[in-house]
Structure 1
């Protein structure tokens, strides 16, 4: 009788493992990971110089909670969010957008760009990434960024930027390409505003 009582809970492990992750196996990795890449980049060997007080710092933007993970957010309606199956970012979308924005600014401007807070004596371009995902209502990939420009004299300016790629199928490859396109449109618009 004692042996049955000891082994009974062990018999439930195979049944429960289909419902929850017990850490007994590795999670499936998606067939491909998504990233954001700038479609403009400085040419090889290009040199930019300047002073610390004119170096533009581009820290990682704040992000909506739904973007604080490596999964691709899907807006179902005004109050529901899901995540796209078979899709995952290589790192958090806010960090990817920071790199893309800094690379675009380097390519389109003439000033030094610092990713992070290194140039604290110069101007800072920060902001909040509000959307970087798929909108199921409109079948579109949407990127929305509230930019904040702070100048050394204390002046602060804000501006909202948004772009979308429409008629996108809810497939990882299509959504990834659409988000990259929209993110580049936003980054170019921010660069025009800054420059």
Structure 2
């Protein structure tokens, strides 16, 4: 872990890196660099990461229902390491780094909520809303906690872990943990972002099947 020197009274830059080499998958290459890095400073990232649902409703599709028949999807709660726009790297049980230049367009909990909502709408055909749109909890409420949403160095994979809770008037409370992992060969913003999008969609499909059951 390395700290870069300051370059001005109002500019502070710190960089933390862990690097390792493994055989590259690309033809003709001999080594690929795997790095879990974070940097803070004035330089903007080359791109912002986002999540997109693989099962979004088609354009022009419409659902109609009363509030009591709708599915209300809440934004998951998160711990502090996920309550930000950087992508964490689990270095050890007690150490976190961040993927260099990997910045979300929004906080991952809100992005993941969007994937959940679109997947549920596409898979169930039901009306899916957020609590702001309904102003109540009279329908089926899907909430929960996003436990993990980043790269795990020991597993060499991204991991998405979501504890889902269903509340519905007149029925018992239900809770279940869902998890998906996707291997990552080169740890950079593009590869980690794509893998997290894939894992998030896998978890969303699992949750949609659970809700339907």
User: Normalising to structure 2: TM-score of the pair?
Assistant: 0.79
More helix by share: 1
Alpha-carbon distance change, 81 to 43 in structure 1, aligned in 2, over 3 angstroms = same
Question: What secondary structure is seen at the aligned counterpart in 2 of 1:160?
Answer: strand
1:176 correspondence with 2:213: no
Which of the residues 31, 41, 57 maps onto 2:46?
A: 31
Cα distance, 1:51 vs. partner? 1.2
C-alpha distance in structure 2 between counterparts of 1:116 and 1:28, whole Å: 37
C-alpha contact 1:168 1:178 (8 A) present in aligned 2: no
- In structure 1, what is the equivalent of residue 209 of structure 2? 192
C-alpha distance in structure 1 between counterparts of 2:94 and 2:83, whole Å: 18
1:70 correspondence with 2:81: no
Provide, for residues 111-133 of structure 1, a one-character-per-residue CA deviation record: whole Å limited to 9, x for no partner. 11002352511110000001111
Tell me the C-alpha RMSD between the 2 structures. 1.9
Correspondences of 1:1-195 after superposition (within 5 Å): 16=9, 19=12, 27-117=42-132, 118=134, 119-195=136-212
C-alpha contact 1:168 1:175 (8 A) present in aligned 2: no
C-alpha distance in structure 1 between counterparts of 2:169 and 2:124, whole Å: 19
Unaligned runs of 5+ in 2: 1-5, 15-40
User: Normalising to structure 1: TM-score of the pair?
Assistant: 0.86
Question: What secondary structure is seen at the aligned counterpart in 2 of 1:62?
Answer: coil
Alpha-carbon distance change, 154 to 75 in structure 1, aligned in 2, over 3 angstroms = same
Cα distance, 1:167 vs. partner? 3.5
Unaligned runs of 5+ in 1: 1-12
Count residues with an aligned counterpart.
179
